[in-house]
Structure 1
Amino acid sequence: MEKASPFQATWSWRAFIACHLLALVLLLLWLWAPTRAAIDLFDYSLFHALNAPLATNDTWRDIFAVASTRPFDALVGLLLLGLLIRGDWIFKATQVRAASFGLIATMLVLVVVRVLYAKLAHHMDWQHDSISTFAPDAVHLAQYFPSWNGTFHEIKDQSARSFPGDHASVLLAWALFLTLFARTALQWVVIWGLALLLMLPRLVAGAHWGQDDYIGGVQMALVALAWSCFTPFVAWASGGLIRLTDPLFDLLAKIPLLNRLSVVSA
């Protein structure tokens, strides 16, 4: 019979250590003055290339105004979840439920990492304002849509604490998690194409520097992945959640349409 869980309740020490070492290397490169200067210069160039078209291109401006709101973040969450629970894409249909709970466990670890890292960044004075507050030629999306301010779809184009990039860390953790089980080049392209594309809105609007994502976001995702997927935790948490929710899924399996979903029928 096909194994119902894609996880193994063992320590993967090499991968565990590699994730922490890579996160540490990224941090040291960011803290070292010569590489930090190069990173800052690259980020200014990246921001100008992405942000400047907002002033002249109405379509570019409208797309990223919508993509920089909380409701769009919710739609992104549904998209990522939909790809995860699609049976026989990354995971076999019989493994989708276990995989879904495994990702939830990984995201819970990410929340803990995010809180601890934010406290460390504050204590070490690593925090900084958004790049949109530094760049003199920054185009602020909120100025083009003033009626959106103070509403549930307020545009996020600046922050007083933009490091590390928590939005990017979620996308990167999702991408890394699925990459562990991807089997084809096409799956890799879809996973990482989506992750990078969905990271763009915050970068275009200037809510984050690039380094908030490819330094801070990557670090948090790597550490979260290490403590969830390369330890017994994800197998333990996934199995426990499956047992806990079995009665609920037994009820859902009796509902038409819902019972066609792999995450329910399995």
Structure 2
Amino acid sequence: MEKGSPFQATWSWRPFIACHLLALALLLLWLWAPSRAAMDLFDFSLFQALNAPLASNETWRGIWAVASTRPFDALVGVILLCLLIRGDWVFKAAQARAATFGFIATLILLVVVRVLYAKLARHLDWQHDSISTVAQGAVHLASYFPSWDNSLFEIKDQSARSFPGDHASVLLIWALFLTLFARNALQWLVIWGLALLFMLPRLVAGAHWGQDDYIGGVQMALLALAWSCFTPFAAWASNALVRLSDPLFRLLVKIPLLNKLSVIAA
């Protein structure tokens, strides 16, 4: 581990193997007919509990409609990024820049995993429609806000290919990544509380089944985490990006206010 880096440039075989075994176990559990049937029943019950109140509460419906749009996703991304780069919270101030670049490298790996997984799911016919399209009496948020359709505020409440949950995988990889370095229960509570809260809009609107997230999303996050943080990849990529971007940050550190950010000042 180089100075200022939170990553070890070595293979951590036990957690690396554990992530793969857990991902495989989740897949086998999902493919096994009896457990899959139990998941389907659970997901229908969960969807009913989350979605049904939308029919009778206009304010509640509006909140979740906004939360199911792309601009809200962007806001969530800003919140997660701010927590990631905040010095002396999870990461020491001197490690903020290296940690941020390490997370970016992890996200790149997640994209690779997502593309490969999607191809596999399509080839093996694992894909399915969103639960909102098959559940009886589902409240479709888009039908209440027709003017939002085909606009910046298009509501994400259905898809013909909802498995695996890529939206959840990003939130989960953020939570797992920070959990590796979190030092106390309060940090874990904040991290996982936010991750689960921001996963809810797609579940409330019915864009995803629960299993899209707790099976597919978790699998992808585990694999990306394993190949990033439990191999030399995160350390190598982070150190390389820190060195390449150093001239830029030497300029940014001269800008008032910006130089107060740990990721800049580091």
TM tier relative to shorter chain? over 0.9
Residue aligning to 2:32: 32
1:147 corresponds in structure 2 to: 147
The corresponding residue for 1:220 is 220
Residue 73 of structure 1 pairs with residue 73 of structure 2? yes
Question: Is 2:172 aligned against 1:172?
Answer: yes
Secondary structure of the residue that 1:180 maps to in structure 2? helix
Q: Percent identity?
A: 82
- 1:126 aligns to what SS in structure 2? coil
Mapped to 1, the partners of 2:136 and 2:230 lie a distance apart of 44
TM-score (normalizing by structure 2):
0.99
Amino acid at match of 2:6: P
State the match for 1:129 in structure 2: 129
1:160-180 per-residue CA deviation (whole Å, 9 max, x = no partner) reads: 000000000000000000000
User: CA offsets, 1:122-166, max 9 Å, x none?
Assistant: 000000000000001100000110000010110000000000000
Residue 264 of structure 2 is matched in structure 1 by 264
2:91 — aligned with what? 91
Which residue does 1:109 correspond to in 2?
109
Q: Which residue of 1 aligns with 2:82?
A: 82
2:63 paired residue number: 63
Report the AA paired with residue 41 of structure 1.
Answer: L
Please name the residue that 2:8 is paired with: 8
Find the residue that maps to 1:36 and give its secondary structure: helix
Matched, 1:254 2:228: no
Match of 1:18 in 2: 18
**Aligned partners of 2:59, 2:212: CA distance in 1, in Å?**
26
Match of 1:43 in 2: 43
| Structure 1 position 77, deviation (Å) | 0.4
Deviation at 1:59, TM superposition (A): 2.1
Gapped regions of structure 2 (runs ≥ 5): none
Q: How many residues align?
A: 265
- Alignment deviations for residues 39-87 of structure 1 (CA, whole Å, 9 cap, x no partner): 0000000000000000011221111100000000000000000000110
Alignment partners' CA distance in 1, 2:59 and 2:92:
40
Give the superposed CA RMSD: 0.7
For 1:164 and 1:83, the matched residues in 2 are separated by: 26
**SS of residue in 2 equivalent to 1:3:** coil
Look up the match of 1:243. Answer: 243
Unaligned runs of 5+ in 1: none
| CA shift for structure 1 position 116 | 0.2
Give, in whole Å, the separation in 1 of the partners of 2:95 and 2:139. Answer: 46
Q: Shift of residue 3 of structure 1?
A: 3.5
Q: Can you list the C-alpha shifts for 1:102-121, whole angstroms capped at 9, x where unaligned? A: 00000000000000000000
Task: Give the whole-Å Cα distance in 1 for the aligned partners of 2:157 and 2:54.
Answer: 12
Query: Residue 235 of structure 1 aligns to a residue in which SS?
Result: helix
Report runs of 4+ in structure 1 exceeding 3 Å deviation. none
Pairs within 5 Å for 1:156-171: 156-171=156-171
- Rounded to whole Å, the distance in 2 between the matches of 1:137 and 1:17 is 43
CA distance in 2 between counterparts of 1:175 and 1:87 reads 17
Tell me the distance in 1 between the aligned counterparts of 2:168 and 2:47.
Answer: 16
1:53 and 2:53 equivalent? yes
One-letter code aligned to 1:243: R
